Amino acid sequence: MLINLVADVPASVTRLAKEFVSITRPIEHPRAVRFVARNDPGQLAELVALIDKGVVHVKADVRPLESLADLHRAAERGLIRGKVILKVEA
């Protein structure tokens, strides 16, 4: 399954997945679903519980703020997976 979090997705990327979920705009794909999130504290608590139980795994990488330009270029090339936390040094 491919989950789209960006506005523009090239056709070469959509062909990689049998199922496709987009949170930005509808995508032309035979098995695409558009998902619109809303601020729901109950659902957020449920998601946190699933993460705590190990049912849902979140990949996160911590990088210094100075690496933002490099991270952006890597994201444009599709090289970033998961979440990136930017660390700001005092």
pLDDT at 60: 84
Higher pLDDT, 57 or 3: 57
The predicted pLDDT at position 53 comes to 93
Check pLDDT > 80 for residue 16: no
Q: What are the tens digits of pLDDT across the range 25-72?
A: 666 767 666 666 667 778 878 888 888 998 888 888 899 999 989 998
What is the reported pLDDT for 64? Answer: 92
User: What string of DSSP letters covers the chain?
Assistant: -EEE-SS---HHHHTT-SSEEESSS----TTEEE------HHHHHHHHHHHHHTSS---EEEEEGGGHHHHHHHHHTT---SEEEEEPP-
Closest alpha carbon to 32 in 13, 48, 59:
13
